[in-house]
Structure formats: structure tokens, C-alpha cells
Amino acid sequence: MNERDKLRKFRELDDAFAQALRELDGGSRQASASPVDERPQFEERLRALMSEYALSQQCVLDMLTTLTRLKHLS
């Protein structure tokens, strides 16, 4: 896989992860749904993305840490 393919896959993963976070944060939250009820759905989606893109837990942790640091810088 070349660098362009890697970047494309990373962007796709980033977009999917951002969508999952938006949904978890209330983008499609129903009035009766609580954050506790949504956690298994988020975890299931995250695990599916990790499997689809062959990402380890450490890789995802590194990505989240980087995104969090970047957010604090802006």
C-alpha cells in the first residue's frame, strides 16, 4: 500500500470516527437515550472500524491522543 492509499484510508477512518463521536455527542440522540445506553453502540462501531482498517488499540489510542492535543492547540 502506498502513502496515498494510507492517507485516504486514514481520512476515511477519521471521518467515520468523527461521525461516531458526533452521534455519541448528541447529533442523532433521541430524548430518551442516555449516554450510558449509547456507549455499547459507540464501542461496537469503534471495534468495527478498528477491524475494518486493521488498527490495534494502541494505534487508536495514539490517534485519539494526537487529536486531543491538536484540539487543545487550536
pLDDT digits (tens, 9 = 90+) for 51-68: 888 989 898 888 888 888
pLDDT class of 15 with cuts at 50, 70, 90? confident
How far is 14 from 18, CA to CA, in rounded Å? 6
Q: Cα separation of 61 and 48, whole Å?
A: 15
Q: Give 33's pLDDT tier (boundaries 50, 70, 90).
A: low
- Proportion of the chain above pLDDT 90, given as a percent: 3
Q: Looking at residues 13-31, what average pLDDT do you find?
A: 71
